[in-house]
Structure 1
Amino acid sequence: MMTPDTPEKMVVLGKVSSVYGVKGWLKIYSYTEPMDRILEYTEWMLNLNGRWTPVEIDKGRSHGKGMVAHIAGCDDRDQARQYCGAEIGVPEEELPELPDGEYYWYELEGLAVETTAGIKLGKVDHLMSAGASNDVLVVKGDADSFDRQQRLIPYVPDVYVQDIDLEAGRILVEWDPEF
């Protein structure tokens, strides 16, 4: 639910997983790559009970395999607990512009996936990182697709991913539907 002063399109960059320590710090699960890029945004919108609420991040750092951050004015564990489970978002217009041919994951989610032979495979449900290699499109079959199977298609442009057309809402892939 958006408030009148909330931007139209929010992009989720992570979530608050739990409290950290006794001075109001929070453990953060970042979806950004690299993960500490989330700290480049000093103003976050937190989705609390369906409402986007602005907060100012005054401190943050990497911690172990994750991140910790501190919200300005939130100085104790009990106060910080209210933010646990909240999605962290920023207005779409605050994201840096990408070079031609590069996309944010959220732009690909929901796009129809079709083979170069015209066979519909379903829609991109989400993407996942495969570590040092490539990202992977998780494509779920639907009523309009070849079958209802879920497919994991490596996101490798010019090998498997032949074309992305955001306006048409379609990704064209070189992929065997039997695989």
Structure 2
Amino acid sequence: METPGRRILLGRVLGAFGLRGELKFESWTEPREALFRYQPWILRDAQGNERQVSGARGKASGKYLVGHLPDVIDRDAAEAARGTEIYIPRDALPPPRPGEYYWADLEGLRVVNAEGIDLGTVSHLFSTGANDVLVARDDERERMIPFVQPQYVTGVDFEAGIVSVDWDADF
């Protein structure tokens, strides 16, 4: 399956739930139930096979989501879907509000501190619960910078491809 453009990983199938083909989903959307709003999905299994699916539905249930895929009708099919990743095209997401960013849009941008020192490029971001953390990598090291605005992250310039930070290059 060929899908032009950039994709965003929104979640994955955790496995079967019950006997009638229901699935457990892990979602990285906020709120997590928003996973079902972004369709069609591009599903990618562990072997790299891809297919497009519309009509997934579900709801929150404890620490994960429970739902259905249109072509999964029994427990065996649900178990076979374990580990399947859920992608959507990047352009399917609404534009972020001013001052907000999709993590995927920050990946690959250069990170430069207030002294003009290049700290590498944004590898990825992750959440600690207290705050998000931007990971900048160069050939020599990895820096973890709290994504706290404006204290540490002082600006994001997509046109220039730069995230400006107030961060010591030796830290």
Q: Give the TM-score normalised by structure 2.
A: 0.88
Match of 2:164 in 1: 172
Match of 2:75 in 1: 77
User: In structure 1, how many angstroms separate the alpha carbons of the residues matched to 2:67 and 2:118?
Assistant: 43
Match of 1:23 in 2: 20
- Matches for 1:86-97 after TM superposition, within 5 Å: 86-97=84-95
- Matches for 1:58-73 after TM superposition, within 5 Å: 58-73=56-71
1:53 pairs with one of 51, 69, 80: 51
Identity of aligned residues (%): 43
| Structure 2: segments with no counterpart, 5+ residues | none
Could you list the per-position Cα deviations for residues 83-110 of structure 1 after superposition, in whole angstroms to 9, with x for gaps in the alignment? 2212111122211111233210100112
CA deviation after TM superposition for structure 1 residue 51, in Å: 4.1
CA deviation after TM superposition for structure 1 residue 174, in Å: 0.3
Q: Give the TM-score normalised by structure 1.
A: 0.85
The residue type equivalent to 1:44 in the other structure is W
Could you list the per-position Cα deviations for residues 53-84 of structure 1 after superposition, in whole angstroms to 9, with x for gaps in the alignment? 11134431112111122101311011123322
CA contact (8 A) 2:17 2:66 kept: yes
| Structure 1: segments with no counterpart, 5+ residues | none
CA deviation after TM superposition for structure 1 residue 178, in Å: 2.1
User: In structure 2, how many angstroms separate the alpha carbons of the residues matched to 1:40 and 1:150?
Assistant: 35
Match of 1:122 in 2: 120
CA deviation after TM superposition for structure 1 residue 7, in Å: 3.8
CA contact (8 A) 1:47 1:86 kept: yes
2:153 pairs with one of 151, 161, 165: 161
Taking a change above 3 Å as real, the CA distance of residues 50 and 166 of structure 1, as seen in their structure-2 partners, is farther
RMSD of aligned alpha carbons: 1.8
CA contact (8 A) 1:44 1:57 kept: no
User: In structure 2, how many angstroms separate the alpha carbons of the residues matched to 1:57 and 1:77?
Assistant: 19
User: In structure 2, how many angstroms separate the alpha carbons of the residues matched to 1:21 and 1:100?
Assistant: 42
